[in-house]
Amino acid sequence: MSNKINKVAITGGTHGNELTGVYLINKYKKNPDLVKRDSFKTLFMHTNVGAMKKCTRYVDKDLNRTFIKKDLVNDALYSYEDVLAKSINLKLGPKGAEKTAVDFIIDLHSTTSDMGLSIVIDNDNRLTWQVAAYLKEMEPDLHIFRWRGDTKEVSFVNSITKDGFAIEVGPIPQGVLRADLFFKTEKLVAHTLDFFEKYNRGDLHKVYETIEIYDHIKLLDFPRDKSGELNATVHPNLQDNGYYKLTKGDPLFITLEGEVINYEEEKDVYALFINEAAYYEKGFAMCLTEKKVIKI
């Protein structure tokens, strides 16, 4: 963690219907000074313009599950997002290289679930976690979710570089720009850039030792019928509740007929990403996590 940060990328529109990131990049294009710092370069870009134009999550497949090392060099893959991923990988990576074109990626997202202001981290690298701890100090309402994935290899945009994370804010419907969470996201990006500026200048007089996180246990699907249609949706107790504590016997789902299905496991968990629209097709209704303090 001793190398200087030379270049940071802010990416938005990875999912074309998540407008917070789309419009924040628009704002930076009009006002590049907002993300300018003296000691490093900041690059900002829309990652999936094709999906943005259609206001859909993706054109052919989820770009944020497409950064798999062997796929990025596989000429046989030619879908819109496969081609896009290769191009982004060349610009920001390449993934797995000792030295990548940028040192840190901040990828901007929103969710229909009540995630408030969150960051999603999928690596164990010291720099990333020091940034996370700094952000938590700056914005005490920030939640930190350690993601353990729905793909074998982490395949997010921000996995191109060793260090980085996704910002997730919600609840925001797809295709909607919400003022409050737009400005919160902007502030969190600014804090992140400020961290790098202090880091490069040696002005960080503190090393963070621990951090409170929500640690991925597993993904939980909706009850479905044979054809894959939902038989139930999340119980009203969980709807609109981010980071909801579930104890054995708590209502979890409610069927279309009104029957309540309870959480029946012994272990207390925290549910998050509850009722995220984009996860219906992926096959999960929420993520179950453990709240803990980890050493970093």
CA distances in angstroms from 47 to 21, 81, 130, listed in the order given: 10, 10, 26
CB closer to its own copies out of 78 and 183: 183
Taking CB under 8 A as the rule, does residue 242 contact its own copies?
no
What the block records as the tokens of 11 is: 């990416």
- Report the nearest approach of its own copies to the CB of residue 107 (Å): 20
∠ CA 97-165-105, rounded to 5°: 50
Binding its own copies by CB under 8 A: which of 32, 96, 228, 236? Answer: 236
**Nearest Cα to Cα of residue 55 among 23, 10, 31:** 23
DSSP 3-state of 150: coil
- Report the nearest approach of its own copies to the CB of residue 75 (Å): 29
CB closer to its own copies out of 68 and 176: 176
Using the rule CB under 8 A, give the single segment among 96-104, 131-139, 148-156, 231-239 that binds its own copies: 231-239
**Nearest Cα to Cα of residue 65 among 174, 147, 9:** 147
Binding its own copies by CB under 8 A: which of 281, 282, 292, 294? Answer: 281
What the block records as the tokens of 142 is: 């920030």
**Nearest Cα to Cα of residue 194 among 78, 25, 36:** 36
Taking CB under 8 A as the rule, does residue 15 contact its own copies?
no
8 Å CB contact between 287 and 280: no
Work out the angle between the directed axes of helices 19-30 and 179-201 (0-180°, nearest 10).
60
Binding its own copies by CB under 8 A: which of 44, 58, 182, 243? Answer: 182
Phi first, then psi, for residue 278 (nearest 5°) are: -70, -15
Question: 230 burial class (0-12, 13-18, 19+ CB within 10 angstroms)?
Answer: middle
Hey, what amino acid is at 113?
Answer: S
Residues 68-107 contacting its own copies, CB under 8 A = none
The dihedral of CA 113, 22, 137, 159: what is its sign?
positive
Taking CB under 8 A as the rule, does residue 294 contact its own copies?
no
Taking CB under 8 A as the rule, does residue 224 contact its own copies?
no
- Report the nearest approach of its own copies to the CB of residue 56 (Å): 7
Taking CB under 8 A as the rule, does residue 241 contact its own copies?
no
Using the rule CB under 8 A, give the single segment among 26-34, 69-77, 157-165, 211-219 that binds its own copies: 26-34
CB closer to its own copies out of 171 and 242: 171
CB closer to its own copies out of 134 and 182: 182
Using the rule CB under 8 A, give the single segment among 20-28, 67-75, 81-89, 116-124 that binds its own copies: 20-28
Hey, what amino acid is at 236?
Answer: P
Give the list of residues 6+ apart from residue 39 with CB closer than 8 angstroms, or none: 4, 5, 196, 197, 200, 201
- Report the nearest approach of its own copies to the CB of residue 9 (Å): 20
Using the rule CB under 8 A, give the single segment among 27-35, 88-96, 187-195, 209-217 that binds its own copies: 27-35
Residues 152-181 contacting its own copies, CB under 8 A = 171-180
- Do the strands 104-110 and 163-170 form a parallel or antiparallel pair, or are they unpaired? parallel
Q: Which residues bind its own copies (CB under 8 A)?
A: 23, 26-27, 30-31, 55-56, 112, 171-180, 182-183, 229-230, 233-236, 239, 254, 256-258, 275, 277-278, 280-281
